[in-house]
Amino acid sequence: MKIGITGITGRMGRTIATFILQDAVVELASALVRQGFGHENDDLGEFLGFEKTGTKMTADIDQFVQSLDAVIDFSSPSLSLQIAAKCAENRKILVCGTTGFSEEEKQKFASYAQNTVIIWSSNMSLGVNLLMNFVEKAAAILHDDFDIEIVEMHHRNKVDAPSGTAFSLGAAAAKGRNVDLQKVGTTIRSGKDAKRIKGEIGFATLRGGDVIGDHSVIFAGDGERIELTHKASNRDIFAKGAIRAAIWGSAKQPGFYGMRDVLV
């Protein structure tokens, strides 16, 4: 399977590309870079610190997509929408881990799955997706006398807050309780009149250092508290999950899938 990577100059893109180069099942066939930011036509293997592969990096999206079976995309909402459109047009698999979409952008992005396989997840790790299953089940079992709070921490340079993974965990909790997260979720709690509303799902965001990703879902009741936590110690888990998703997608019909589908 021939895979292309977006965001190759970023930490996540480099990690995924390095794993693909060392994998016997998949091939690193192309990489997309920003136009005018350098590295256009650079050898991909040499850029990553390996021997030359003969594969050139490109800033041309059309050229990038043509030579591939699948794209792995960890970039920005605006670029991910462009990539999704091209993948749909050319019937290429898209594995996307981009977060920070607006509701309108999410709907537009998902619409491209009518014509191709799109696998989107806010977090590609096995552990986090198992955590989502646990959270959904716990929320369904524990009555609403248990308050749900979600705490996440990432490195100082992360742009969106709360994280996409935090929102996905909130969605899992809301599904377990059979409620609408948009109605019960809150990311703002401050001031003199900030008393907790019964049934709401709260989000707290921490930023600092080089933290890759810590997520905790707290079920707080009277006299007891349950905390479900996942901590990422390196980005390898996301790279492995993304590659696994691309291979899985090769046997699927067009549709919008999540990482939890891949793990079933």
Catalytic residues: 154, 158
Q: Compute CA distances 144 → 17, 167, 184, 245, whole Å.
A: 44, 19, 12, 35
Cβ–Cβ < 8 Å for 236, 183 = no
Q: Tell me the HSE value of 255 on the side-chain side, using a 13 A CA sphere.
A: 10
Burial class (CB in 10 A: 0-12, 13-18, 19+), 207: middle
CA–CA–CA angle 194, 184, 264 (5° rounding): 135
Of the candidates 79, 96, 69, the one whose C-alpha atom is nearest the C-alpha of residue 32 is 79
Sign, CA dihedral 232-234-236-238, equals positive
For residue 162, say if its preceding peptide bond is cis, omega within 30 degrees of 0.
Answer: yes
CA distance 26 to 68: 11
Longest dimension (CA), the chain: 63
